[in-house]
Amino acid sequence: MQPGFSFTLDATDGAARAGVLTTPHGSVHTPLFMPVATAATVKGVDIGRVAETGAGMILSNAYHLHLRPGEALVEQAGGLAAFMGWRGPTLTDSGGFQVFSLARQVKVTEEGAFFRSHIDGTPAAFTPENSMRIQERIGADVAMQMDHVVALPAPRETVADAMRRSLRWAARCREAHRRPDQALFAIVQGGLEADLRAESATRLREIGFPGYAVGGLSVGEGPDAMVAALHATVPHLPIDRPRYLMGVGQPWDIVAAVAAGIDMFDCVLPTRCGRNSLVYTFAGPLRLRNAMHASDEAPLEADCPCVACRHGRRYLRHLFLAGEMLGPVLASIHNLTFYQRLVARLRAAIVAGRLVAEADSLLAGLRGSAARPGDSHG
């Protein structure tokens, strides 16, 4: 790793790990959940409240920041953390997923991705080299390689072609990356094909990176397929480097992924669900617009320290029914706090050597009686 970066393991329990990731902007414990600040803001929640949820590291997106306000302005402000008033570590996704999911008329060649901005339709291009330049100027502690993302399901030949292009792009990113105070993470691709995942992980390890992500999941493949892809990938990754599962996700998926050996997560669900009146609890998700909460004085969770839990469910329901903006804000804060409490419980269980029992207990509660909200990539 570069100077200022390290990853140490404090404990293991089966494949699960509890560790510490150290960056130039501070250290964070793993398992780790990163709130998503796509455009340098966690939707609806000011940066001070984000810190109060227990978050230690935040993710932003290079594609969105490049288009607006532009990496030059972020650099002028002193980098991503200073730009948004955050005092901890940050990570930028290269924008590969957004290029293919948001941009219009994308053309992919060996050189890179050529597309039109989803904002105003102006032509734009992402190559491994300019992706590195953009992320270096944005200045997050961790940058991600540019990768080729394909929608699933897809023919094996399509998945294999995109995976091998991602490998070639990874080598170009590694060569182009220059900033010594920024770690570059690789991204394993390969869809749901176990041998392609193994090939990708092995070849990325041979190139050598400070950290490794698992990409191309949480796109509707289902929890069993996701776990199978992780089991095909994780054994081929270095023990002494952090492992990051991109865009996941649901609380029960995080539990399963931690058990499979993943250290880092991000997802938009805490705030997206919060804005739509769905909140997570350890007894299952709650839909605050439901009439059953109309006269319920109980907090969302009695032992939750968040500001939302200073109010009763009936008040929170009222805010949503009245169209008051405070409702989505409080629900988002609660969900962000819940995710931090979840990974803290998983870490404590790993350290204590009781992850299997804790995972069984968590899953029994998390699934609850409410319907599971739909999966979404972060």
The residues assigned a catalytic role are 93, 266
Exposed (0-12), middle (13-18) or buried (19+): which is 61, by Cβ within 10 Å?
Answer: buried
Q: How many CA atoms lie within 13 A of 87 on its CB side?
A: 6
Count, residues in the chain:
378
DSSP state letters, 185-221 = EEEE--TT-HHHHHHHHHHHHHH--SEEEE-S-SSS-
How far apart, in whole angstroms, are the C-alpha atoms of residue 64 and residue 325? 25
Phi, psi of 327 (to 5 degrees): -60, -55
Using an 8 Å Cβ cutoff, are 347 and 30 in contact? yes
Exposed (0-12), middle (13-18) or buried (19+): which is 155, by Cβ within 10 Å?
Answer: exposed
How far apart, in whole angstroms, are the C-alpha atoms of residue 74 and residue 282? 38
How far apart, in whole angstroms, are the C-alpha atoms of residue 378 and residue 219? 10
From residue 325, how far is each of 208, 238, 299, 333 by CA, in Å? 47, 45, 19, 13
- Quickly tell me which residue has 């803001």 as its tokens: 41
How far apart, in whole angstroms, are the C-alpha atoms of residue 31 and residue 142? 16
How far apart, in whole angstroms, are the C-alpha atoms of residue 226 and residue 60? 24
From residue 322, how far is each of 289, 310, 316 by CA, in Å? 11, 19, 10
What per-residue string of b and e applies to 22-56 under the rule 16 or more CB within 10 Å gives b? Answer: bbebeebebbbbbbbbbbbebbbbebebbebbbbb
